[in-house]
Amino acid sequence: NAGVTQTPKFRILKIGQSMTLQCTQDMNHNYMYWYRQDPGMGLKLIYYSVGAGITDKGEVPNGYNVSRSTTEDFPLRLELAAPSQTSVYFCASSPERYNEQFFGPGTRLTVL
Amino acid sequence: KNQVEQSPQSLIILEGKNCTLQCNYTVSPFSNLRWYKQDTGRGPVSLTIMTFSENTKSNGRYTATLDADTKQSSLHITASQLSDSASYICVVSRVETSGSRLTFGEGTQLTVNP
């Protein structure tokens, strides 16, 4: 199993551009999550999903959108990139609500 | 406010030495507490997960303790190795009606020198 995979690994955007961060898991997990990690800070939850077709906001959802059309995929969309969205983004999945979460390798995004 | 505070912020030790990292939390209602290891440039990897009724849990050279009364946890690393150099993150899970709401600490950056 590949676990949780994320693409791209690195990306530089200009202010106002849009992009989609991809996340795929092959463990058949129901729950999936998107976090951002700013330097020296704890991870913050952006959005999460409890199953295909169901998504909900986390702590810091502004400026982002998600969709969950399949169990495997949970893409994160940035519509109008801003410098404040410069961060490392992690996708994670877990089989049930309170189980261990498995993290992807992260996407480092810089908005200039 | 639901918070997780870790100390120290950073720690440097010599290879072969032991160390203890601390985690205090105010998250309520409590579901479980996890310790993750995050190598530079990588995603966090789970070391241990403890529920309310568990006081100690070991994973090789890593031993986590939990005192749910005082809302404190520690992670003890025995006979440190160079590969232990990483950020160690304490994560507390809160009981919610849906989803799994985790509160992450800022991590302790451990450096093990030869």
Cis check: omega of the bond before B8, within 30 degrees of 0: yes
Report which of residues A98 and A63 the model is more confident about: A63
Q: Can you give the pLDDT at residue B70?
A: 94
Question: Which positions in chain B touch A101 (Cβ < 8 Å)?
Answer: 46, 100, 102
Q: Can you give the pLDDT at residue A28?
A: 95
Q: What is the pLDDT of residues A28-72, one digit of tens each?
A: 999 999 999 998 888 999 999 999 999 999 889 999 999 999 999
**Looking at chain B from residue 55 to 94, which residues have their Cβ under 8 Å from any Cβ of chain A?**
89, 93
The answer to whether the CB atoms of B99 and A31 lie below 8 A apart is yes
Q: Can you give the pLDDT at residue A98?
A: 66
- Residue indicated by tokens 């791209």: A8
Q: Which residue of A has its CA nearest to B46?
A: A100
Question: Which positions in chain B touch A44 (Cβ < 8 Å)?
Answer: 104
Nearest residue to A35 (alpha-carbon basis) of A13, A14, A66: A66
Q: What is the pLDDT of residues A1-13, one digit of tens each?
A: 789 999 999 999 9
Please, is A80 exposed, middle or buried when counting C-beta atoms within 10 Å of its C-beta (0-12, 13-18, 19+)?
exposed
Q: Are B91 and B105 in contact (CB under 8 A)?
A: yes
Tell me the backbone φ, ψ of residue B95, rounded to 5 degrees.
-70, 125
